[in-house]
Amino acid sequence: MFWRNNARIKNLTVENLIGSFSNPGGGTDFWLDPTNGNDSNNGFSRKRAFKTFAVAYAALTDGKNDRLFYIAGEESISLATGITWAKSYTHFIGVCSPVGVGNRARFFAGAALATLVTISGSGCVFSNLSFFNGYADVAALGAVKVTGGRNYFENVRIAGMGSTTQDVANAYSLELNAAEENVFKNCVIGLDTIDRGAATNSEIRFDTGSSRNTFEDCFIYALINANTHVLALVVDAAGVDRYTRFKNCEFMSLSGNNAIPMLSAFTLPTSMTTAYITLDNRCTAVDIADWEVNNRGKVYTASPDAGTAGTGCGISQVI
C-alpha cells in the first residue's frame, strides 16, 4: 500500500520522461496534437489537445511561463506562413523520442518562406523539436532566425537549404541576428542530403552584433560540392559582439567519396572589433582544412594543433 500511494501518476511527468525542464514559475500547460487534436478543444490535456499550431500558440500568455507540448505522431506541421514566436517566457516542448536527427515533432515549409521560424521572444525554452525549410524557391532562405535573448534550445534539429534551389547567397540553417545570450545544447544544425555549392551561405549565420551566445554538445555539418562552403559565417565587422563559445561541438564536412575537404569551418570579415570565437579542446573538425583559413586573429582553440600563436587558427588532429 505504501508503494502504491507514492507511485501516483501525477508524479510521472513529461519532464521525467523526456528530460525537459521543471517549471517552478507556474504557468498553464497546453497540448498540440496535429494527428488527433481538434481546435475546438481547450488544449488543457492530451485528450483535449489543439490540432493547429496557430490556435495553440494563441492560447499562450506572454510572460507567464506557459508551456506548449507538441505530441508527435503520423502528422507533421506544414506551414503556409512563417511562425514568429514573440511571447517571452513561454516554452515549447516536443513529446517524442529525443533522437536529434530525425526528430518527429516536426515543422516543414509548405510555401516559399524567407524564414520558417523567427524567435523574437526572450527567456524561452525550446526542446525536442525539428525545423526544416526545404521549399524549392530562391526566396526560402532559412529555417530558424533568433533575434531574442536568453533563450535555451535543447535537442533541436535546425535544417535549411533543403533544396538545391535554395543554394543562394545569404541562405542559412540558423541565423542569429542581434541575438544575445542564447544557449544551444545538444542541437543538430545543418543537412547532409542536399549539396551546398559555391554560393555565399552557411549553416550558422551571425549578424547585427549577436553576443554572448553558447553552443554546447552540438553537431554542425553539411554535404558540399564546393570547398568554399563554411559552417559558420559572420556577415560583417559588427556581426558578432563580445564572444561566441563552442563547447564540445563536432563540425563535419561531407562530400561524395570524401573527395572535397572544406577549406574553413568559419568565415570572418576583416576588422572585427571586441569579438572573439572560442572552441574548447573537445571540439572536433572532420574533413575541414582549417578552423579559420584567413587568420583574422579572432578564433581561438585549445586543440593540440592550434596554429600560429595568438591567431587561434588551426585544426584538431585527424586520426
139, 111 Cβ separation under 8 angstroms:
no
What is the structure's pLDDT at 102? 82
**Tens of pLDDT along 255-314?**
999 999 999 999 999 988 899 999 987 899 999 999 998 888 899 887 655 444 444 454
Indicate if the alpha-carbon torsion angle 294, 218, 281, 192 is positive or negative: negative
Question: Looking at the predicted structure, is the pLDDT value of residue 68 above 70?
Answer: yes
**Tens of pLDDT along 78-89?**
999 999 999 999
**Residue matched to cell numbers 513529446:** 95
Alpha-carbon distance of 146 to 319, in angstroms, equals 36
Alpha-carbon distance of 297 to 306, in angstroms, equals 12
Nearest 5°: the CA angle 142, 124, 221 is 35
99 contacts: CB under 8 Å, gap ≥ 6? none
Alpha-carbon distance of 189 to 206, in angstroms, equals 14
Confidence of residue 20 (pLDDT cuts 50, 70, 90): very low
Which region among 101-115, 173-187, 231-245, 294-308 has the lowest average model confidence (pLDDT)?
Answer: 294-308
**Tens of pLDDT along 143-188?**
999 999 999 999 999 999 999 999 999 999 999 999 999 999 999 9
DSSP secondary structure, 259-278, as one string: ---BS-SEE--TT--SEEEE
What is the structure's pLDDT at 19? 41
69, 60 Cβ separation under 8 angstroms:
no
Alpha-carbon distance of 298 to 272, in angstroms, equals 8
Helix (H) or strand (E) holding 54: helix 53-59
Confidence of residue 8 (pLDDT cuts 50, 70, 90): very low
Q: Within a 10 A sphere around the Cβ of 309, how many other Cβ atoms?
A: 6
What is the structure's pLDDT at 198? 94
Q: Which domains does the chain have, with CATH numbers?
A: 27-73 (no CATH), 76-301 (2.160.20.10)
